[in-house]
Every structure is written in C-alpha cells, then in structure tokens.
Amino acid sequence: MSAATNGKLSPVSVAQVVIDDSFWSPRIETNRTQTIPHEYTQCKETGRIDAFDLTWKPGDEPVPHYFWDSDVAKWIEAASYSLAAHPDPDLDQLLDEVIEKIAGAQQPDGYLNVYFTVVEPEKRWKNLGMWHELYCAGHLMEAAVAHYEATGKRRLLDVMCRYADYIASVFGPNPGQRYGAPGHEEIELALVKLYRATGNERYLELSKFFIDQRGQKPSVFQRELEHLSEEDARINRHFFEKNGFDTSYCQDHLPVREQSDPVGHAVRAMYLYCGMADIAVETGDEELLRACRRLWDNVCSKKMYVTGGVGSSRHNEGFTDDYDLPNKDAYAETCAAIGLIFFAQRMLHVDADARYADIMERALYNGALSGISLDGKKFFYDNPLASNGDHHRQDWFGCACCPPNIARLIASLGSYIYSESDTDLYIHLYISGHADLSAGGTPVKISQQTDYPWDGEIEVEVAPSEPAEFGLNLRIPGWCRKAVLMVNGIEIDTAPILRSGYARIYRKWQPGDTVRLHLAMPVERVTTHPRVAENIGRVALSRGPIVFCLETADNPVPLDRVVLPRDAELTAVFDEKLLGGVVKIQGEGLLMDDADWDGQLYRFEPVKMRPYPLTAIPYYAWDHRTPGEMRVWIRSL
C-alpha cells in the first residue's frame, strides 16, 4: 500500500479494491478494452513510442516534440493500473516492450528525454520554464511507480531512479549545482511518489527544493530567459503579461508559502498544489499546509464551475479574476478537473474533511468524465458549459495530455473510494464492490451495494476477520439535505456522530454487520453567486452528484429561449435506452414565443411564453447524438 507517512489518513491501493458497479464497471471495462488500446495505437501511429528508438534525424517526419514522453508515460500508468485490477498477459507484454524502448533511450549519464537527445541536444535544461523536460520526467516517474506497484517489476523504476539521481546531481543548493524549477509542475508530486516507493530521502529533498524555488527574486525563469535566443524566448510569451516580466502563468509570482490566490495555467497550478500538499505531509510543514488550504478555498469558492471544472480562460488555459466563469467560452481543461481531483484527495487525507471528497466527486462525475466519450475513443480537451453545436470530442490531439490522463484516472478509480487510519476506515465514494482494508491491524473486508449515482440507497457490509473496535466513517455528501443511517436494521441519529461531513460509527464490529445509508436525492435547482454575471437569472439542475444540461437532441428549440419557472415540477426518470442508461430530468418549462412579432425588433409588451416540456441529461454525456446546442445554465423566473 502506498501511504503518506505523516498524514491522518492513508490512501488505499488499486490492488486492494474490486469494483463491481453498474455505473463504473462498464466504464472501466471500456477503458481497458477500448481506450487504452486506442491510445497505444495513437501513440504508435504518431511516432511517440518509436521515438524512444532515437533513430530520428534531420528531415524526418514527424519531428518528436518535447512533451511526447509524457503522453507515453501516462499511457503506461493507465495500463499499469488496469493490470493491477485485471491481469492481462498481452498488455503486460506490451508494457514490457514499451518500457524496454524507454530504457534503451536513457543516456549514459542517466538523462532521458527524446527531443533533447536527438532533435536539439544542445538545448538540454536551457528553458525549464516552457520546454517540459522536468514535467516529462515527472510523468515517467509516476508511470514507473505505478508499473512497479502493479507488477512488482523494477525495470522502469530502476531507470527512473537513475534519472532522478542524475537530476538531483544537476539541481540543488550545493556548489556545482544549479538553481531551477519546472515551468510545468509535475515532478514535485512524482518525486514524492518515487520517495514513497523506494524510501530514498534524496527524492523528497529534490521535490522540496523545486517547490522552494518558486517565487524567488529574481525568478529562476527570468534568469534563464536572459540566456535564450530571441527565437527560443518567443515560447515564453506567457511570462510577459502585466507590463513587464511576470511568471504568475506558472505560479512563480510568490514563494509558495505566501500564495493565496490561484493564478496562471490551471493544470500547472493543480499539480503544484498536489506537490505542496505531499511535501507538507511528509515534512510536517504547517505553513505550507496553510497555503494549500487557502488556495483550495479560493479555487472552490471563487473560480470553480458547477461541474468541478477549473481554469476558465483559453488565453492562458487557466485562471483569471474571481467569479470570471463564462459558459460558452469556458476552457475547463479535462486535465485541470483531473488535477483538482488529485488535489482534493491529498487534502482529504490531511484533514479528513468531506468537503474535499464532495469536490472530488463533483469533478469526477462531471468535469472529468465529460472529457471522454461513452465508447472510450473520443476526448474533450476543453469542457464548455454551453455550446452552439460546434464543439465535439476528438480522436486525439497534437497536445495529447488529456486522453491518457482520463485513462489513468478511470483505471485508478479504486484508490479514491476508501481510506484507512490506525483507528478508522473511511468511505468517500459510493461505488459497488469490495475492498480489503485494515483497521488497527485487523483485516476488514468492506462491501458496498448501490445504484449510485442514480439512487441514494447504499448498503455496506462490514466483515472484520475477527470482532474488532474501530470507526467506520460514511460521507454525508454536501448536496444531501436528508440522510437516514441504520446499523443492523436499527436507525441511528447522524447528528451526534457527524464529524467534518462523515457519520462516524464507532463500535465493536462483528463479521456480517450491515450498514444502510439512505441519501435523499431530489432534483435540485442550483444558483450561482451574483458576481458570476452570465448566470444571473439562471439555474442549473443537479441530482445527487450529477449536473445536468439541455441539448437540442431532446429540446429542438433555441435553448436560450427555454425558461424554467421556479414552481415547475421536475421529475427524475431512468431511461435505460438513452446514452447507455441515464437518469433524465423532465419538467414543464416555458418557451419565449416569437410567432407574433411580425418583423418587429422592439415593442412595449412583454415577450409571450408558451408551455414547453423540457428534458435535461447528465452533462458528462452530452455531444453523443445529432450535433446541436447545449446549455447547463437555464433561464429562470
């Protein structure tokens, strides 16, 4: 089990969890049989995998890109998690073959990056701000840890330890070393994973060094920019924003312990905050942890979409001003929602507070899951909350970070459901299946049965190997207004046992004890802060963790003219034939009628309304039918 050393809770590995769930099992199977093979084919056909053969020479096409390594690394990570849950000899062999290519590309000194080995070797470590060397190294480290934990094989782990040792010899505070930091954060959290897998303190120290480099004056990125040619410096255009040099794009504007306001590129920010949380846990750095909490609070209270998407601007793929959350122009990159999930899980393990799990769930079921098609072969890079019918998932991207990212998230889903501590077990997500956990040294098998997210009935069977005292904590979601809890058929009051959003049942558990949790799941109208200008006078629909939207396929009218009265009755109906089986919301709305305007542009009478039966579907499932408009936020009166 991979566990944080000093955290209140410890994560649970994929290998400890079996998912057997009507909602998630088909998606995991699609990920295994469709997405992972599809992404391997794309990496192969685009040259990403064979680039590790280092046979490229000037004039050859395609030219390897400096972030290609990371796409292959995330594919390896996804495939490794899949192997841990579902043994597959063919995939196992394919992974070995790809890993051998990577190992063969490692240089005598330990360096490993295709682009800066064969295309522009003279530019190694020249532009950390924008050339992704350390970012790629980080993803390869994560892949190595995942593969080692899934298979027990050390081939890639040893390669990446050698690379990490080399990086630690180049960067650091000692004589002969250089100061520097990754422009695209990722290696910080990866080094902590490598430390936890190997016990090598050097990797933890290197992660801390990179984190502490951010925000120093003069900036490490400004110093390296002085040595770049004019042509090479053009790619650093994001560092010239506010009438001068400004590296807020990569969160370098302040030392990390002084940061409060999420700025810049959203994926970079999320990965940085994950690394900060990891270092805070491992070193006991309370000041760093306070910064993580401030940044979390700001993201979720001022800069997050109702879907759990973050990073509203296409210009910087990231954050802008507070409450700047446009709908049709929303960027909300799939990778950013996934990064928010990563950050949420880390904070959850520090504070054991359900507010983190609430956001983790929101982003999982909405802002991240929308990033992949139901057949597992098409992807959104950005996830707007409104469309005129011209935004569609793609087979692949030139910058292909999102497809393997969502693949590795789905393949590792088991690690997000439960957590352990010395005295307690936690259930964060309600997903059918079972897990082999441990409470106070006693093995405990936890089984869940539920039709969540479509239904709020959850049954949990607790089976310790022998009678044992421990706390079982069940999350009462923030969206739930009424929860009923029963232990062995006897209802218990949740109010006295509610701790930070979890109902804690502490007792001497017997094999076969059963807990039933009923979460009331009506259709809800969601409103937004009045400073979010585009959503004034509008509502979004949600039910349980799912956010819904209108699509032209169900509502063949101009969607901006659909109005939902405050007193309109809304009904949730499960439709097994719709989009693989989903709950849809139906209600009697109104439609702004233009039938009698007779060519007028303005008039003194109010617009007439006529009844209109509206249908809303889960946001994650939009753009699977005839192209047309989509809206999350609906006019209300």
> Which are the catalytic amino acids?
317, 401
Closest CA to 615 of 551, 557, 524: 551
CB atoms closer than 10 angstroms to residue 111: 20
Q: Looking at residue 64, what DSSP letter applies?
A: P
What's the length of the chain? Answer: 637
- Give the DSSP per-residue string, 161-198: HHHHHHHHHHBSSSTT-B----SS--HHHHHHHHHHHH
With tokens 């063949």, the residue in question is 556
What is the distance, to the nearest Å, from the Cα of residue 230 to the centroid of all Cα atoms in its chain?
A: 36
Reply yes or no: is the peptide bond before residue 613 cis, omega within 30 of 0: no
Distance of CA 223 to the CA centre of its chain: 33
**30 and 376 Cβ atoms separated by less than 8 Å:** yes
Give the span between the Cα atoms of 271 and 269, in whole angstroms. Answer: 5
Q: CA-CA distance, 497 to 504, in Å (whole number)? A: 5
Looking at the DSSP assignment, which residues form a beta bridge with residue 514? 461
Cα–Cα distance for residue pair 278/30, rounded to 1 Å: 32
CA distance 265 to 130: 12
Distance CA 127, CA 221 (A): 8
CA trace torsion 352, 512, 12, 355 (10° rounding): -30
Which residues are within 8 A (CB) of 465 and not within 5 positions of it... i.e. 6 or more apart? 442, 443, 444, 511
Contact at 8 Å (CB) between 553 and 623?
no
CA distance 85 to 192: 24
Return the amino acid letter for 364. L
